[in-house]
Chain A
Amino acid sequence: MNRNVLRLSANRGAIGVAYLLTLVALIPLCLVLAYTIFRGFPAVSHLEFFTNVERPVGVPGSGVAHAIVGTLILVGIASVVAVPIGVLGGIYLAEYSGNRWADWARLGSDVLIGTPSIAVGLFAYALFVAPFHHFSGLSGSLALAVLMLPIVVRTTESAVRLIPGGLRESGLALGLPRWRVSLQLILPAAAPGVITGALLSVARASGETAPLLFTSFGNPFLSTNPTQPLEALPHIVYKFALLPYPALQEQAWGAALVLVVMVLIINLASRYVLRRQIRLAGQL
């Protein structure tokens, strides 16, 4: 009897601890969000923050327009490179899985996801900065594309796998060649999932700083030329946060807030789309 009391109280204690630790896991998310909103709001509440470029310390009306433009260009070029390659690769992994080539490609993608982004930056520097003797937005885009590629591959693969075999078989039964089945039947059906994957990779790329440090480098002026250095939002946060000027630190928090809002919107929206996709695929 006594032993059972002991067992039950141990059980209750363990359940309590497990739930408590789960709550502890949520604390950092709340804190990061709360602080970014509170500290970032003063900067974001001025319209100049989005329309002006960087000004010297002490001059009011400083903004991050150049960094927003830079991030758009960097991530845009990276997407143009990474998304088509990633989608085709993902289709291969889903449609022709089960052979050794596909297994290696899948393992390679998974390992590439975990590659330190700073190493990818070194790689892009050696390939696209050193030979031209100057930093450029293009080299930064290449580094970001390397980081985006495996995410697009793996999300496309899982989106295509959700499509039931019946759709594929009916296409093949009508005599369509494999490429038409894959590209004109399966891919449109899987489109929401594929787009979601591409957006998630965009979210990841727009938040990366490390690979840009010695590729796109940063640029205090508004520039749209990808062969020259470009500024990026995460780089603004990194650069200004470490400087001893409160005005610049406020700008850093503002840029951090813009990043967090963008990334969270993309992630929450993609969750919603994916859930719908899973439901729709069940009805096909």
Chain B
Amino acid sequence: MATATDVKVAVHAPVSPAIPDRFRLLTGIVAAAAPATLVLIVFILFQQAWPAITHFGLGFLTSRTWNPVTQEFGALPGIFGTVATSLIALVFALPIGVAAALVLAEQGQTTIRGLVGTAIELLAAIPSVVYGIWALYVLGPWAFAHIEAPISDRFGFVGWLSEASPRSLFTASLVLAVMILPTLTAVSRDVIRAVPRGLKENAVALGATWWETTWRVILPAARSGIFGATILALGRALGETIAVTMVIGNNYQIPPSIFSPAYTLASVIANEFTEASGVLYPAALVELGLALILVTLTVNVIAMVLVRSTASRAAI
């Protein structure tokens, strides 16, 4: 008789809902560590920058002075340098990245295509300080001798092409272009691969050449994803510190020419934070960091939404 009741109990006890999945709860809490850290970073930076935020107000973003002696700080030259280097870098990297992505996304995984893909992805693994030392001793002098000097000699009458110097906004943009190329290429390649194959086959069946298929069918279909990849690369470029600091020339000004020394938000922090004393000076530097992180976060979220929406549309 005892066995019969046991069986009855076992049958009637609802098994899964009664036992709360503690493992799920625990890992769920742990999984929140990344977003929680993100929120904490923004909060701490706000807190540290507060003296500067209340003292300078919105004028901080539009002022051009940076004078620790008189305690006057403004972010405009830094913002200009950060945005200008990143945008110029995109101009160089975008055509190369998309072209490489088109080649790598072609059907048929040949050995050469695999090797080239691996090589471009390895570019992303090289530490930024190595790009920095290379740009400082190799890329910068080369660009000065073969690009900057000839151009500014001939077109120096155009204000923003004059005054070539080996450490400049332009050099920083070049090294940034190299550094964002792998992100741009890899994400664009994945997005282009996600374009439904039928679209391409239809175009080819209608007699379109490779170029017509690519230009009229594949690129329009992958447009928002490639735009997302671009924005993602832009986010990387905006936040890049060390390589840029080594070659941009570190001059806190809105440069008269793209070949002049300039400064970026991240470089100012890297160079000056350990020596900043008092209350306002470090707070102003942290406010630069806050501006930087808020911009990159926005840019990254937009990029992710764009890339994901393309990928999921392609899956349908």
A contact set with B: CB distance below 8 Å: 7-8, 10-11, 13-15, 17-19, 21-22, 24-26, 28-29, 31-32, 35-36, 39, 85, 88-93, 95-96, 101-102, 104-105, 107-112, 114-120, 122-123, 125-127, 146, 149-150, 153, 177-179, 182, 203-204, 206-210, 213-214, 217, 234, 237-238, 241-242, 249, 252-253, 256, 259-260, 263-264, 266-268, 271
Q: Contact between B116 and A26 (Cβ–Cβ < 8 Å)?
A: yes
Which B residues lie within 8 Å of A260 (CB)? Answer: 126-127, 130
What secondary structure prevails in chain A residues at the interface with B?
Answer: helix
B147 within 8 A of A: no
**For residues 62 through 100 of chain B, which have their beta carbon under 8 Å from a beta carbon of chain A?**
95-97, 99-100
Q: Report which of A36, A92, A126, A210 forms a contact with B30, defined as CB distance below 8 A.
A: A92
Q: Contact between B30 and A263 (Cβ–Cβ < 8 Å)?
A: no
Q: Contact between B242 and A210 (Cβ–Cβ < 8 Å)?
A: yes
Bound CA span A11–B216, Å:
13
Other 8 A-B pairs with CB < 8 A, given A29-B119, A114-B239:
A7-B212, A101-B32, A102-B28, A105-B31, A110-B304, A111-B300, A118-B269, A260-B127
Which B residues lie within 8 Å of A237 (CB)? Answer: 129-130, 132-133
Q: Contact between A112 and B37 (Cβ–Cβ < 8 Å)?
A: yes
Which A residues lie within 8 Å of B217 (CB)? Answer: none
The residue of chain B having its C-beta at the shortest distance from the C-beta of A17 within the complex is B99
Which A residues lie within 8 Å of B266 (CB)? Answer: 116, 118, 210
B314 within 8 A of A: no
Q: Report which of B100, B232, B274 forms a contact with A217, defined as CB distance below 8 A.
A: B274
Which A residues lie within 8 Å of B310 (CB)? Answer: none
Known: A111-B301, A213-B273. A31 touches B133 (CB 8 A): no
Which A residues lie within 8 Å of B47 (CB)? Answer: 126
Bound CA span A233–B1, Å:
75
Bound CA span A119–B129, Å:
17
Among B16-24, B152-160, B198-206, B252-260, the stretch in contact with A: B16-24
List 7 A-B residue pairs with CB atoms under 8 Å apart, sorted by A's residue number. A32-B123, A35-B134, A105-B28, A114-B232, A178-B23, A249-B137, A260-B130
Known: A22-B116, A207-B128, A252-B133. A149 touches B23 (CB 8 A): no
B contact set with A: CB distance below 8 Å: 19, 21-24, 26-28, 30-38, 40-41, 44-45, 47-48, 95-97, 99-100, 102-104, 116, 118-120, 122-123, 125-134, 136-139, 178, 181, 185, 209-212, 214-215, 232, 235-236, 238-242, 246, 266, 269-270, 273-274, 285-286, 289-290, 292-293, 296-297, 300-301, 304
Q: Contact between A238 and B130 (Cβ–Cβ < 8 Å)?
A: no
Q: Contact between B38 and A108 (Cβ–Cβ < 8 Å)?
A: yes
Which B residues lie within 8 Å of A88 (CB)? Answer: 26-27, 30-31
Q: Contact between A241 and B132 (Cβ–Cβ < 8 Å)?
A: yes
Q: Contact between A105 and B35 (Cβ–Cβ < 8 Å)?
A: yes
Which A residues lie within 8 Å of B21 (CB)? Answer: 178
Which B residues lie within 8 Å of A7 (CB)? Answer: 209, 212
Q: Contact between A263 and B100 (Cβ–Cβ < 8 Å)?
A: no
**Shortest beta-carbon distance from B249 to chain A in Å:** 12
What secondary structure prevails in chain B residues at the interface with A?
Answer: helix
Q: Contact between B292 and A10 (Cβ–Cβ < 8 Å)?
A: no
Q: Contact between A264 and B34 (Cβ–Cβ < 8 Å)?
A: no
Known: A26-B120, A178-B24. A118 touches B289 (CB 8 A): yes
Q: Contact between B35 and A104 (Cβ–Cβ < 8 Å)?
A: yes
Q: Contact between A179 and B34 (Cβ–Cβ < 8 Å)?
A: no
Bound CA span A153–B206, Å:
45
Which A residues lie within 8 Å of B269 (CB)? Answer: 118, 122
Q: Contact between B27 and A89 (Cβ–Cβ < 8 Å)?
A: yes
**Shortest beta-carbon distance from B83 to chain A in Å:** 14
Which A residues lie within 8 Å of B133 (CB)? Answer: 237, 241, 252-253, 256
**Shortest beta-carbon distance from B265 to chain A in Å:** 9
Q: Report which of A29, A31, A238 forms a contact with B120, defined as CB distance below 8 A.
A: A29
**Shortest beta-carbon distance from A157 to chain B in Å:** 9
Q: Report which of B44, B96, B123, B285 forms a contact with A24, defined as CB distance below 8 A.
A: B96
Which B residues lie within 8 Å of A234 (CB)? Answer: 127, 129, 242
Bound CA span A108–B269, Å:
25
**Shortest beta-carbon distance from A171 to chain B in Å:** 13
**Shortest beta-carbon distance from A200 to chain B in Å:** 8
Q: Contact between B297 and A111 (Cβ–Cβ < 8 Å)?
A: yes
Bound CA span A46–B21, Å:
58
**Shortest beta-carbon distance from A282 to chain B in Å:** 16
Q: Contact between B103 and A18 (Cβ–Cβ < 8 Å)?
A: yes
Bound CA span A213–B139, Å:
24
The residue of chain B having its C-beta at the shortest distance from the C-beta of A205 within the complex is B127
Q: Contact between A267 and B293 (Cβ–Cβ < 8 Å)?
A: no
**Shortest beta-carbon distance from A257 to chain B in Å:** 9
